[in-house]
Structure 1
Amino acid sequence: MEINLNPWQNKYFHGHHNVINQLDGIKGANSINNSLLFYGDYGLGKCTLAFRFANFLLSNHLGSFQEFKIVEDDIYNQISKLSTPNIHYIPDLDEKQNIIEIKIDTIRDLKNKLQTKTFNKTQRVVIIDSADSLNKSSFNALLKLLEEPPSQTLIIIISHNLRNLPDTILSRCIKFHFKNLEHSEIAQILKKSSLDIDISRIKEIYSNHITPGKIIHLFMHDFDNILNDFNELKNTNNKDIHSRALYISRKYSPKENHQSFIIFFEIFMLWIKHNAINLLDNMPINIDLLRLIRVWDNYNNKYIDLNTYNLNKDEFLLSICYELQKVKNEIK
Structure 2
Amino acid sequence: METLQPYNHQNLYGHEKLEKNFVDLWLKNKIPHAIILSGQKGIGKSTLAYKISRFILDKSFKINEINHQVMFGEEDIYQNDLNIQKDSQIFKEVSMCINNNLYVIQEVFHDDEDNKKTEISIDDIRSLKSFFEKKSLNDSWRIAIIDSSDNLNKNASNALLKLLEEPPLNSLIILISHKPSTLLKTIKSRCVKYNLNSLKFENFIKVINKIKPSISKNEIDFLSILSSNSPGYCLEIIDQNGLEIYKKIINLFSKMPSLDLDEINKLNIIINNKKNNKTFYLFLNLVNEFIHRGVLNIYNIKNSNINYFKEEIELFNNIEINENNVIQIINCWTKLKDTIDKSQIFNLNNKSIIIEIFSEFSKCFNDY
Code of the residue aligned with 2:209 in structure 1: it is K
Code of the residue aligned with 2:298 in structure 1: it is L
SS in 2 for 1:199: helix
Deviation of 1:309 after TM superposition, in Å, equals 3.5
Q: 1:144 to 1:239 in 2, by over 3 A?
A: closer
1:297 is matched with 334
CA distance in 2, matches of 1:58, 1:237: 57
Q: 1:67 to 1:258 in 2, by over 3 A?
A: closer
Q: How do 1:207-222 residues align onto structure 2 when only pairs under 5 Å count?
A: 209-222=228-241
Deviation of 1:25 after TM superposition, in Å, equals 2.8
CA distance in 2, matches of 1:222, 1:254: 10
CA contact (8 A) 1:35 1:156 kept: yes
Q: How do 1:264-279 residues align onto structure 2 when only pairs under 5 Å count?
A: 264-279=283-298
2:303 is matched with none
Q: 1:275 to 1:4 in 2, by over 3 A?
A: closer
2:134 is matched with 116
* Aligned: 1:308 with 2:345: yes
Deviation of 1:60 after TM superposition, in Å, equals 1.6
Q: How do 1:1-332 residues align onto structure 2 when only pairs under 5 Å count?
A: 5-60=4-59, 63-64=77-78, 66-70=80-84, 71-94=86-109, 99-197=117-215, 198-203=219-224, 205=226, 209-234=228-253, 241-249=260-268, 252=271, 256-281=275-300, 285-328=322-365, 330-331=367-368
Q: Which moved more, 1:146-155 or 1:225-234?
A: 225-234
CA contact (8 A) 1:16 1:178 kept: yes
User: CA-to-partner distance for each residue in 1:73-104, whole Å, 9 max, x for gaps?
Assistant: 22111110100101111111236797421111
User: CA-to-partner distance for each residue in 1:297-323, whole Å, 9 max, x for gaps?
Assistant: 111122222223433333221111323
CA contact (8 A) 1:26 1:32 kept: yes
CA distance in 1, matches of 2:99, 2:79: 21
CA contact (8 A) 2:34 2:173 kept: yes
CA contact (8 A) 1:53 1:65 kept: no
| Structure 1: runs of 5 or more not aligned | none
CA distance in 2, matches of 1:264, 1:237: 19
SS in 2 for 1:108: helix
CA distance in 2, matches of 1:237, 1:30: 61
Code of the residue aligned with 1:165 in structure 2: it is L
Q: Normalising by structure 2, what TM-score?
A: 0.79
User: CA-to-partner distance for each residue in 1:138-186, whole Å, 9 max, x for gaps?
Assistant: 0111111111222222111111111010011101111111111221111
Q: Which moved more, 1:250-259 or 1:29-38?
A: 250-259
User: CA-to-partner distance for each residue in 1:12-42, whole Å, 9 max, x for gaps?
Assistant: 2222123123212321221112111111111
CA distance in 2, matches of 1:23, 1:292: 46
CA distance in 1, matches of 2:232, 2:258: 40
Deviation of 1:243 after TM superposition, in Å, equals 3.5
SS in 1 for 2:35: strand
CA distance in 2, matches of 1:238, 1:163: 36
Deviation of 1:106 after TM superposition, in Å, equals 0.9
CA distance in 2, matches of 1:293, 1:140: 34
Q: 1:213 to 1:301 in 2, by over 3 A?
A: same
Q: 1:50 to 1:239 in 2, by over 3 A?
A: closer
SS in 1 for 2:127: helix
Q: Which moved more, 1:218-227 or 1:267-276?
A: 267-276
Deviation of 1:135 after TM superposition, in Å, equals 0.4
* Count of aligned pairs: 327
Code of the residue aligned with 1:199 in structure 2: it is I
CA distance in 2, matches of 1:223, 1:18: 32
Code of the residue aligned with 2:153 in structure 1: it is N
CA distance in 1, matches of 2:346, 2:138: 46
Code of the residue aligned with 1:82 in structure 2: it is C
Q: 1:164 to 1:306 in 2, by over 3 A?
A: same
CA distance in 1, matches of 2:250, 2:298: 20
Identity %: 27
Code of the residue aligned with 1:307 in structure 2: it is Q
Deviation of 1:237 after TM superposition, in Å, equals 7.8
CA contact (8 A) 1:126 1:155 kept: yes
RMSD of Structure 2 on Structure 1 (CA): 2.8
Code of the residue aligned with 2:222 in structure 1: it is R
Q: 1:250 to 1:188 in 2, by over 3 A?
A: closer
